[in-house]
């Protein structure tokens, strides 16, 4: 085995977080052409069975780049186009209205200056998303709550809404910004999943399985846990967020959420990440892989998004782009970076929500990789 100091540093650094019970268990999965290093530490749950390499994790927002890749398959085949309006397939958001003021009443609106496109969905510039504001402080947030639609927040597969009804309710709301104007997190992916299903005439999960998961050997990636015995316990802080015995992921969801609904394993997601790192690997075209992993935001949009993405990051299609890497996090406890310079793919999978995790752990993961 060749020398790999980054992997050695990462293995050493991660052990302490499990020994101090900051997380029940974790997996780090590093790969580069010709070499893979996997480190499995801790347990499936606190005081539970040992964690295994093929344990199942709720990967949350890692679903977003997977859905983006599915959309780019359709672009490669000419079934969708990046800059064509989505009105025909998503009539609920055709001819949208836009708030006269981003923080104003939902009944004070102006016409949209142009239609919403697929590129808007992929780059989170459709005009809707997580407001950079306190919860429930804006009239638009309150209107969403009244309608029972969730456009951001932790995944909850057992929503009672099916895709068509979710879209119908979403379509009754105005946009917060003009299409293409501002970056706002998440809603674009939820809508994208509905678009893919309608464009293909297949349920989203079937298309993903047929065109991504099966060709890449991602046998354990699905909107439903393939084996309850391998599903980890999910924690938010010290509290159980999702128990494998009664998990929301044990039965098919009413709304297969392209923004955060998948369950996967370290090896499965590594196969997807390696596909992008190698330029599409015949799953998507090289041009599509490059577009996905290239920053699409203008400088003012990056500055506007910095409160969420950080000062150096932009956004590609379903993932963040930094000067030396790209990737994204899953809020239920996962991190992913790809370093294009040497095609290193680095994954971290845990069962603890990122917003309750020690920030030092995430910084340690970063530092171990970059020195």
Q: In whole numbers, what is the pLDDT of the chain averaged over residues?
A: 94
Among candidates 346, 348, 310, 256, which has minimal Cα distance to 66?
A: 256
Q: Higher confidence at residue 363 or residue 114?
A: 114
Share of the chain above pLDDT 70, in %: 98
Instruction: Work out the angle at residue 330's Cα, subtended by the Cα atoms of residues 328 and 336, and round it to the nearest 5 degrees.
Output: 40
Query: What is the homologous superfamily of the domain 5-61+220-370 according to CATH?
Result: DD-peptidase/beta-lactamase superfamily (3.40.710.10)
Among candidates 68, 23, 28, which has minimal Cα distance to 317?
A: 68
Longest CA–CA span in the chain (Å) reads 64
- Residue 94 reports pLDDT greater than 80: yes
- pLDDT score recorded for residue 1: 56
pLDDT digits (tens, 9 = 90+) for 207-253: 999 999 999 999 999 999 989 999 999 999 999 999 999 999 999 99
Fold of the domain spanning 72-198:
Methane Monooxygenase Hydroxylase; Chain G, domain 1 (1.20.58)
- Tell me the average pLDDT across 294-314: 95
Q: How far apart are CA 31 and CA 268, in angstroms?
A: 13
pLDDT digits (tens, 9 = 90+) for 127-137: 999 888 777 78
- Tell me the average pLDDT across 52-77: 98
Count other C-beta atoms under 10 Å from residue 194's C-beta.
24
Instruction: Work out the angle at residue 108's Cα, subtended by the Cα atoms of residues 104 and 112, and round it to the nearest 5 degrees.
Output: 100
Query: Structure tokens of 180?
Result: 């293409």
Domain boundaries, the chain: 5-61+220-370, 72-198
Q: State the pTM of this model.
A: 0.97
* DSSP code string of 257-271: -TTT--EE-HHHHHH
3-class state of residue 58 by DSSP: strand
């Amino acid at each position: 085995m060749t020398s790999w100091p980054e992997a050695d540093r990462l293995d050493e650094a991660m052990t302490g977080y499990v020994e101090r019970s900051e997380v029940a268990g974790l997996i780090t999965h590093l790969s580069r052409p010709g070499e893979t290093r996997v480190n499995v530490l801790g347990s499936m749950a606190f005081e539970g069975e040992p964690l295994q390499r093929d344990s199942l994790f709720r990967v949350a927002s890692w679903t977003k780049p997977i859905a983006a890749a599915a959309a780019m398959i359709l672009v490669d085949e000419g079934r969708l186009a990046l800059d064509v309006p989505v009105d025909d397939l998503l009539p609920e958001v055709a001819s949208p209205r836009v708030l006269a003021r981003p923080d104003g009443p939902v009944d004070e609106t102006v016409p949209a200056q142009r239609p919403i496109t697929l590129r808007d969905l992929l780059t989170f510039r459709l005009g809707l998303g997580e407001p950079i504001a306190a919860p429930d402080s804006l009239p638009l947030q309150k209107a969403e709550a009244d309608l029972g639609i969730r456009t951001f927040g932790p995944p909850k597969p057992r929503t009672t809404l099916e895709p068509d009804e979710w879209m119908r309710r979403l379509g009754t709301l105005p946009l917060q910004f003009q299409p293409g104007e501002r970056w706002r997190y998440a809603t674009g992916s939820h809508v994208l999943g509905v678009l893919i299903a309608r464009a293909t005439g297949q349920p989203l999960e079937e298309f993903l399985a047929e065109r991504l998961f099966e060709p890449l050997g991602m046998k354990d990636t699905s909107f439903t846990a393939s084996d309850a015995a391998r599903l980890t316990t999910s924690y938010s802080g010290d509290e159980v967020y999702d128990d494998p015995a009664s998990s929301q992921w044990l039965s098919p969801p009413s709304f297969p959420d392209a923004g955060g609904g998948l369950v996967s394993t370290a090896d499965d997601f590594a196969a997807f990440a390696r596909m992008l790192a190698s330029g599409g690997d015949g799953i998507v075209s090289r041009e599509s892989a490059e577009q996905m992993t290239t920053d699409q935001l203008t400088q003012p949009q990056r500055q506007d998004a910095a409160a969420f993405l950080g000062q150096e990051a932009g956004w590609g299609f379903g993932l963040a782009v930094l000067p030396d890497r790209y990737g994204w996090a899953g809020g239920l406890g996962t991190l992913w970076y790809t370093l294009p310079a040497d095609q290193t793919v680095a994954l971290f999978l845990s069962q603890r929500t990122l917003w309750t995790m020690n920030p030092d752990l995430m910084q340690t993961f970063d530092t171990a990789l970059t020195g």
